[in-house]
C-alpha cells in the first residue's frame, strides 16, 4: 500500500504535519530536505516538488503534492473521516478553530519566514538586525493576541485540536518557551500538555522538541 511521503527537517515546520500523521496512525516516510537556508542544492531538489522550496511538503499516496500546513490539516481530517484534530461541521468550536488556524498560518507563521531569512525581503546590510528585531516584536504581539483568546486546558477549551499541535511546535521557536512561560502562560501550559500526549511523544523526540 502506498504511503504518505513527508519532506521536512527535524524541528522545522514539517513537525506540525508529522505530528498529525502520527496522531491518525497514517503510514508515512520522512525525507530530510537539508538546510534550505544554507544549501542551494537542498532548495533546488525540493523546488522540483514544491516551487517555493518550503516545508512541510506532503506527497499523498496517489502522488498528489500538498503544501500549506492548514490545507494539509483539513485534508487529513477529511481523508481519515476523524474529527479528533479538526472539529466537524456543526461543532460549536469549528468557527473558532478555523479562525485561529488561519490566523496562525497567515499571520504568526510568516514572521518566521521573514525572520529566518531576511535577505529574501530586505538588503543584507546594517538594516538586517533592526528588521529581525521588528519582526520578532510583531510576533510577540500576535502571540499575546492568541494568549488573550486561549482557553484551558486546550486552546479551544476541553477538546484537543490541531491548533494545540501548532502551539506545541511553534513555542519552541522564537521567542522560545521561557518567554511564553513569562508572557503567555496559557499558551505555555498548552504546549507543555501537548508535549505529554502519548501519541505524539515519538514525534517530539524525533524532532528534538522535548524538555
Average pLDDT of 157-169? 98
| pLDDT tens-digit readout, 22-54 | 999 999 999 999 999 899 999 999 999 999 999
> pTM here?
0.94
Percent of the chain with pLDDT over 90: 85
Domain count, the chain: 2
Domain for residue 208, yes or no? no
Q: How confident is the model at residue 126 (pLDDT cuts 50, 70, 90)?
A: low
Q: Is residue 29 domain-shared with residue 48, that is, in the same domain?
A: yes
| CA 203 from centre of chain | 13
Average pLDDT over residues 133-142: 93
List Cα–Cα distances, 70 to 12, 192, 203, in angstroms: 15, 22, 19
pLDDT band at 76 (very low <50, low <70, confident <90, very high): very high
71 and 147 part of one domain: no
Q: Note whether 181 and 149 are same-domain residues.
A: yes
Whether 206 is covered by a domain: the verdict is no
CATH number (domain holding residue 46): 3.40.30.10
DSSP 170-199: HTTSTTHHHHHHHH-HHHHHHHHHHHT-GG
Q: What is the CATH number of the domain that holds 115?
A: 1.20.1050.10
Considering only residues 137 and 118, tell me which one the structure prediction assigns the higher pLDDT: 137
Q: Are strands 4-8 and 28-32 parallel, antiparallel or unpaired?
A: parallel
Give the pLDDT of residue 33. 97
**Are 107 and 141 within one domain?**
yes
Question: Residue 155: CB partners within 8 Å, gap ≥ 6?
Answer: 100, 146, 161, 163, 164, 167, 190
Both 120 and 189 in one domain: the answer is yes
Q: Which residue range forms the structural domain that includes residue 56? A: 4-85
Instruction: Pick the last residue of a domain from 51, 85, 119.
Output: 85
| In a shared domain, residues 99 and 49 | no
Amino acid at each position: 500500500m502506498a504511503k504518505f511521503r513527508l519532506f521536512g527537517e527535524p524541528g522545522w515546520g514539517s513537525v506540525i504535519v508529522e505530528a498529525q500523521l502520527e496522531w491518525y496512525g497514517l503510514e508515512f516516510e520522512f525525507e530530510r530536505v537539508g538546510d534550505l537556508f544554507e544549501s542551494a542544492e537542498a532548495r533546488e531538489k525540493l523546488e522540483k516538488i514544491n516551487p517555493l522550496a518550503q516545508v512541510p511538503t506532503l506527497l499523498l499516496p496517489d502522488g498528489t503534492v500538498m503544501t500549506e500546513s492548514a490545507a494539509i490539516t483539513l485534508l487529513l481530517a477529511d481523508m481519515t473521516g476523524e474529527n479528533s484534530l479538526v472539529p466537524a461541521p456543526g461543532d460549536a468550536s469549528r468557527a473558532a478553530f478555523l479562525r485561529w488556524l488561519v490566523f496562525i498560518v497567515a499571520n504568526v507563521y510568516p514572521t518566521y519566514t521573514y525572520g529566518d531569512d531576511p535577505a529574501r525581503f530586505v538588503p543584507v546590510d546594517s538594516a538586517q538586525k533592526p528588521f529581525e528585531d521588528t519582526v520578532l516584536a510583531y510576533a510577540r504581539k500576535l502571540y499575546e493576541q492568541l494568549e488573550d483568546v486561549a482557553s484551558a486546558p486546550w486552546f479551544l477549551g476541553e477538546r484537543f485540536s490541531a491548533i494545540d499541535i501548532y502551539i506545541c511546535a511553534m513555542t519552541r521557536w522564537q521567542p522560545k518557551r521561557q518567554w511564553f512561560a513569562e508572557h503567555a502562560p496559557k499558551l505555555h501550559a498548552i504546549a507543555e500538555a501537548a508535549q505529554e500526549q502519548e501519541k505524539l511523544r515519538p514525534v517530539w523526540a524525533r524532532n528534538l522538541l522535548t524538555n
